[in-house]
Amino acid sequence: MLTAVGRIAVTGSVAYDTIMVFPGHFRDHILPERTHLLNVSFQVEQLERRRGGTAANISYTLALLGERPLLCGAVGASDFDEYAAALEAAGVDTSHALRSAETGTATCYITTDLDDNQITAFFSGAMAHARNLDLRDLQDVSDVVVAADDPRGMARHVDECAALGARLTFAPAQQIPSMDDGVLQAGLRAAWLVVGNDYELEMIRERTGLTVSDLSAHATVAVTHGAAGSDLHTEDGVISVPAVPAGRVVDPTGAGDAYIAGLLAGFRREASLEAAGRLAATVASFVVEERGPQGHSFDATRVSERYEAAFGEAPAGLLGHGGAA
């Protein structure tokens, strides 16, 4: 694989996650025979607001790996400044984010009980304007990531990736059910790299009839299996990569996004398929140790030490600057 000398444009959602912890059990407050008259209130003892969203999560970890990714997501003009400052401090270029004056940044409101049951409400907010974000004026872009976002925005960005002559990393994730068949198939056909978990790849098969084997005839397909590791499929076969043990497991949210970042960074540095997968697994292990998809941090030394402990060899050449501008 050739070293990519251009930059990475990362499209996808940018969101706040508001997490509220109810110190009880929903089952004690919801009567199944009265759900048609549901009216409940939960007194929470913990409330956290975390930064999230697919594009922001992927960009954040790419920046930790020495890249200078372009965040190409739609955000609220009124509430993104603090978020932007945090991303910029990590090394993400937020200058191409589309700021909407009409509404705020997307927000997910999650109430969780002691059984880890969740009641979630999602406000798409500015994310609905992603379809208005134009990539065609970007300069020196060799890779475009199209992650879960407004479906019409995803369709546009798949097309614009081709117009830029860039390589497409396609990770539709939770938007698979919301995408038109034509848009989903267009992204899969154009992709150089397809990433998803085993459930998502099965959804793709049911929607399109395309199996992992079909997709790997023209793209690298990374299928993640949580704690069971991941499989990397190409026309030459399958390479299995074990998960890297974390020091502690606190919150798995965002581990898949970090995996995408690690895999893409590895490929941009001419890593072998196996080495890129190992870097992705190593990076993802840092995420689960902290709360929130951007709660982790690391440097090259920590990544190298954890990689070597897991795989018995150093990640030679994987932790450089990687061609970022």
pLDDT above 90 coverage of the chain, percent: 74
Kindly report, residue by residue over 124-182, the tens digit of the pLDDT: 999 999 999 999 989 999 999 999 999 999 999 999 999 999 999 999 998 999 999 99
321 vs 258, higher pLDDT: 258
Name the residue type at position 286: F
Distance CA(190)–CA(62), nearest Å, equals 22
Q: Above 80 in pLDDT, residue 323?
A: no
Question: Which DSSP string corresponds to 195-236?
Answer: EEEHHHHHHHHHHH---HHHHTTTSEEEEE-GGG-EEEEETT
CB atoms within 10 A of CB 127: 28
Closest CA to 11 of 70, 64, 65, 63: 70
Q: Above 80 in pLDDT, residue 5?
A: no
CB atoms within 10 A of CB 321: 12
Domains and their CATH numbers in the chain: 7-15+54-104+127-311 (3.40.1190.20)
Residue 50 — φ and ψ, nearest 5°? Answer: -115, 150
Q: Above 80 in pLDDT, residue 16?
A: yes
Kindly report, residue by residue over 63-72, the tens digit of the pLDDT: 999 999 999 9
Kindly report, residue by residue over 75-121, the tens digit of the pLDDT: 999 999 999 999 999 999 999 999 999 999 999 888 888 776 778 88
Residue among 113, 149, 257, 299 flagged as catalytic = 257
Kindly report, residue by residue over 289-308, the tens digit of the pLDDT: 998 899 999 999 999 999 99
Q: Above 60 in pLDDT, residue 321?
A: no
257 catalytic? Reply is yes
Q: Above 50 in pLDDT, residue 259?
A: yes
Q: Write down the mean pLDDT value for the chain.
A: 91
